[in-house]
Amino acid sequence: MNTSDLTVGVVGATGYAGGELCRLLLNHPRVQRIVPTARGDENFEHVHPNLLGSGLAFSTLEALKDQAADVDVVFFCTPSGTAMQHAGWFLDQDCRVIDVSADFRFPDPDTYRRVYGGEHTAPGLLGEAVYGVTELHRDRIAGSRLVANPGCYVITAILALTPILRSGWADLGQSVHITAVNGTTGAGNKPVRALMHAEALNSMLPYSLDGHRHAPELETHLTPEAGRPVSIDLSTAHGNFARGIYLQSSLQVHPEHRDRMSRDRIIGLLTRFYQGGPQGAPEPFVRIIAAPRSGGLNVKDYGLYPQLTAVTGSNFCHIGADWDGRRGIIKLVSTTDNLVKGAAGSAIQNMNVMLGLDETYALTAYGL
């Protein structure tokens, strides 16, 4: 593979994540050609007017397959059930595959069936798929053929929770409580009245409170980090903004660690974990809010925690923390852009690692 002259396919490029992949890939110094696909006869610049003048035009999946000998990487930004039908074919043509959908996020077909309610049609590929939290699985992603990109809520939670779970501080006899708000782009681009501007403005749209499908994904991939089963209580809503994830996690601290706990200790752990990095270098896309507390008791010190607008349009995850000593609870706040770090950006980050490229290619822009 000549990594200075890449051809990349984006299957399902009519959606928000697919459009974001195209936007970011247009600035990738090693990507020469992008082939976005659509099922209909849509005009690319009508669907993605922000990319007017890009020269991109929709192709079909069949046409992409006809060009497979010249395609290096294929991204699937498709509904669940599509990538599993076609990923094996592209792998057989020596294309690398990055699935932005949920088809390869679970290591076994039984879990997939339980969460998504359907049979997995490519169970033989599940053992090969590498779960694509780059910061945690970089070594396995390098040189892999198939990467399963995490869900947007999931990557935002995993990056905040993993250092705490690895430390052994949490009392995992109790559930980890997570409350998260996603932008309306997280609901996709199919017309739904509740998501119309007139309906969503000045409102909140809770959903899936009976058991969000990302909770089992979190439990599956956080359990190895904790060294024991983790129970996740996940509550979600769409906010009245287009893009971004604001996520709060609460963990009860084990009694043996409670007396020594403090916000400074938590921030110190997070900083060492991400600014030292597993390879001795800072993680390029994780930032810890380490500002000292400036006020006294009950002062609303907003600078202690991440701001959603600070990550919009970027591949960064910002993490903040605090300590409720009276109740013995660690509280974490993490923010990402659901379309970038939560989807297209982390997928490109994984592609860069898979191909041995600079991990930050096409992803260095700061928040808007």
DSSP tag of 327: T
Q: Give the 3-state secondary structure of residue 102.
A: coil
Place of tokens 């084990």: 254
Catalytic residue among 22, 77, 95, 152: 152
Pairing mode, strands 130-131 and 96-99: unpaired
Give the containing element (helix H, strand E) for 92. Answer: helix 83-92
Spatial separation of the C-alpha atoms in residues 253 and 171, rounded to whole Å = 5
Residue 271 identity: T
Give the dihedral sign, CA 295/297/299/300: positive
Alpha carbons 207 and 78: distance in angstroms, whole number: 21
- Closest listed residue to residue 312, CA positions, set 349, 337, 290: 337
Active site residue 152: yes
DSSP 201-245: TT--EEE-TT--THHHHHHHHHHHHHTS---EEEEEEE-SSSS-E
Give me 38's structure tokens: 């659509």
Tell me how many degrees the CA angle 318-13-359 measures, rounded to the nearest 5: 40
Residues with a known catalytic role: 152
